[in-house]
Structure 1
Amino acid sequence: MESPSPSQLLRQVALELFVDRSFDAVSLRQLATAIGMQVGSLYNHMDSKQSLLFELVEEYEADLLDTLVDESSNIPHPIQRLEAFVRAHIEFNLQHRQHHDLARRELRSLTDEQQSSIQSLRRLQRECLQNILQQGVAQQLFQPLPPEVAAHAILSMLEGATANFQSNVIGLFSCMVANAMGMRALPALQGSTLFSTPLAKDERSNGNHHER
């Protein structure tokens, strides 16, 4: 396996230190020492500590957006699209836990312009989900909730997945999302399909959202 380049090593070490100690608590000298460089040599691989933080967060948010779109856009049925979105969101964040934590904790450390850029990427992620929900509502498969409100609620729910260490975390959170949208959910361990047939209208009106 090839050794990482100095730039890759800097990004890797910066990610770990920023998450472990916080962005403000990490000095340029600590960064340089951790990768065996002189402080002045860092500027051969970054513009500033601030720009390095932004690059780490922006790359994570852009890669998450690409993953969500790639995994959910070419599926015709909205229930399967929602399943794919939920699975992709959870799997990506579990695989990039440090990037996720950094993006959530250190957004405040970015400049206003940098924060605006990150929020634009997050808005596109949310719109990807809203499009799925709008399709499902139009086909009477999901509860007729405002897509913006439902998308915010689902994404807030999925944020909890990275802090959950259960082996069936995808199944658990898929059930939660399915129940929120008025569908009957199947635990992941009972089959490969996490969402099953949507509840009939009379079942919804009787309040049987959690019937298995």
Structure 2
Amino acid sequence: MNKEKRLEILTRLRDNNPNPTTELNFSTPFELLIAVLLSAQATDVGVNKATDKLYPVANTPQAILDLGLEGLKEYIKTIGLFNTKAENTIKTCQMLVDLHGGEVPESREALEALPGVGRKTANVVLNTAFGWPTIAVDTHIDRVSNRTKFAMGKNVVEVENKLLKVVPKDFKVDVHHWLILHGRYTCTARKPKCGSCIIEDLCEFKDKTE
């Protein structure tokens, strides 16, 4: 895909959604971090249902530590892999208290050192909480980038590196949200909704649907 076509795609996505953000509910960097940690192999809707009950009771590292492991599990037991996620959340909260004064560090290295936090989660927090021009590639973004031929790669790291290379500076902060929302609601996995897609004429996917 050429530079001009990519720019037009980004312009249309921006015009359609000028101020995109995550669909996870949060009001602080810590709430976002925990929500993203809980969202692995789970839906944002499912995570929001749990955190909407959890955060009014405990929305700081110390408050979650005070709940304890079993207390935390009661709030997140509807989320897949909740046992492992609860353990990682408690360990993460302990590290935030011990090493960072209870605050979420604005550092990729420090974030990725937290239990259960990988590159993708760190990218989401840096982008959405702190406004960094990072691009967290999940299954939706991987699919949209490859299917449209916008930024092709054999794995999520290759796609991330390609996106960072081809997306102009002015679009970098928001492109993560545009692509994830496009993949979630329009360029869906089994049957993309090409007929209602605002970038259909620019997309280079060969097997378009009606």
> Whose helix proportion is higher, 1 or 2?
1
Larger Rg: 1
TM-score, normalising length: structure 2: 0.28
TM-score, normalising length: structure 1: 0.27
